[in-house]
Amino acid sequence: MIITKRLAVGACALLAALAAGVVPAGAADGPAKESPKVELVLDVSGSMRARDVDGQSRMAAAQQAFNEVIDAVPDNVRLGIRTLGANYAGDDKETGCRDSKQLYPVGKVDRTEAKTAVATLRPTGWTPIGYALRGADQDLGTDGGTRRIVLITDGEDSCGMPDPCDVARELAAKGTHLTVDTLGLTQDDKTREQLSCIAEATGGTYTTVRHTKELSGRIKQLVRRADTPVETPRPVQGANACSTAPGIGAGIWTDRATFGEHRWYRVTVKPGQELRASVSVGADRAVDRDYGVLVRAVGESGQELVRGSDAGSGRTDVMASGLRLPVWKAKEDDKEPRTVCLEVSHSFSAPASVKRDPGLPLELAVDVVKAPDNPSDLAAFGLGRGWILLAVLGVTGLLAGLLWGWLARWRVAVWREN
């Protein structure tokens, strides 16, 4: 009886609290501080007047897409909107290249208020992408949660200073795990190159869109992706030799390596497992045009087991390579773990005026999976192995030779007849 009375009193108290508008802490405040944050950065420059998206202007298509996105924002995501080129229509470049403002603050979305703000936008001025990216980074803050910028534009930066690619590298080097995804409403090479550069520098994606439905769908996808838990990279400091290297396991690890430096890490692999490792080195400052990256798996005796490398030239933001190493059982009951040392190095160089410290950002992804049951089934980075492949290549070469010989004889016969 006493318990029944207490339950009744508690129920009455809860009803009274609800009637008074009292709700549990956090329920009325929207997403918590640790919730993911996304800021949509929209180009509102004069070129957005062009009517080439499903029979309407680029601006109208973007506004329609934004309305759909605002309706679909997950409850756990804090969303904001920033514009560039929306307020100054004059010819003064200095003023036009600072024309970027936050249209809607990052936080819980009031759908009516956000849509009303978007509806007021009209194509106006310049395209200060670099300046807007810095502003968006500040809008997102650093109070926890993942941080993502989605840039929608129909052209390249029209200001030049700051250069958007350099700004993206600058933001990536801050180590706040900011991702910038870019969407282009045009397909010219210069725009594609610049937006790809921005995305690659921060681990984001670049997409060309030509239809309103595509634009809306892609933005929704990116906003939902911000709400998807991802593994947080863990810092590690590699050694200068295998014997003193730190032990690491499956996961994503971050480090820095100066020019000409080799970094070592140790991984334990059991017989019957396959080690998969990939490394990426980011160029977060001005570097020379020729570069490469190397990752090697080395046994405890110092013998190289396998390596992966890649190289290139010209402008880049990141260079990556990887390897696969199966550890076979010596006998059926072999369960003794093996220690594999991973050596990571890069051949980036830079003019003497470029700072050396800290080193270039390095990200190492490690995974250990079940090894193939049959060694002949292993395919390493697209290169097949075994007698079947050799036979296919041999037959292909034979048929190609016969065909070429027949064509040559036919051409000679035709020439003689003429």
pLDDT tens-digit series, residues 389-416: 455 556 666 676 667 667 666 765 666 6
| Residues sharing a CB contact under 8 Å with residue 229, sequence separation 6 or more, in sequence order | none
pLDDT tens-digit series, residues 252-299: 898 999 999 999 999 999 998 899 999 989 887 888 989 999 999 999
Distance in angstroms (rounded) separating the CA atoms of residues 83 and 124: 11
Task: Give the C-alpha distances (Å, rounded to integers) separating 188 from 198, 240, 285.
Answer: 16, 46, 26
- Whether pLDDT at 14 is above 80: no
| CATH 3.40.50.150 given to domain 28-226 | no
Q: Is the pLDDT higher at 360 or at 376? A: 360
Residue 382: per-residue pLDDT: 38
Distance in angstroms (rounded) separating the CA atoms of residues 158 and 151: 15
* Contact present, 264 and 238 (Cβ < 8 Å): yes
Number of H helices, E strands in the chain: 9, 15
Report the chain's terminal Cα–Cα distance, integer Å. Answer: 116
* Contact present, 343 and 242 (Cβ < 8 Å): yes
Closest by alpha carbon to 59, among 45, 41, 72?
45
Q: How many CB atoms lie within 10 A of CB 259?
A: 15
pTM of the model: 0.55
Residue 418: per-residue pLDDT: 59
The stretch 49-61 carries a mean pLDDT of 92
Architecture of domain 234-376: Sandwich (2.60)
- Whether pLDDT at 332 is above 80: no
Helical (H) or strand (E) element with 43: strand 37-43
The stretch 368-385 carries a mean pLDDT of 56
Q: Where do the domains of the chain lie?
A: 28-226, 234-376
Distance in angstroms (rounded) separating the CA atoms of residues 282 and 294: 13
In 56-187, DSSP assigns E strands to 78-84, 100-107, 147-153, 178-184
Q: Which range has the top average pLDDT, 112-121, 215-224, 318-327, 372-381?
A: 112-121
pLDDT tens-digit series, residues 148-204: 999 999 988 889 888 899 999 888 888 777 899 999 998 788 888 899 889 888 888
pLDDT tens-digit series, residues 68-122: 999 999 988 999 999 998 998 888 988 999 999 999 999 999 999 999 999 999 9
Task: Give the C-alpha distances (Å, rounded to integers) separating 12 from 4, 25, 27, 257.
Answer: 12, 19, 20, 64
* Residue carrying structure tokens 């010989």: 405
Closest by alpha carbon to 319, among 295, 291, 344?
291
Q: Is the pLDDT higher at 310 or at 231? A: 310
Q: How many CB atoms lie within 10 A of CB 175?
A: 13
- Whether pLDDT at 22 is above 70: no
The stretch 364-381 carries a mean pLDDT of 68
Q: Report the chain's C-alpha Rg in angstroms.
A: 28
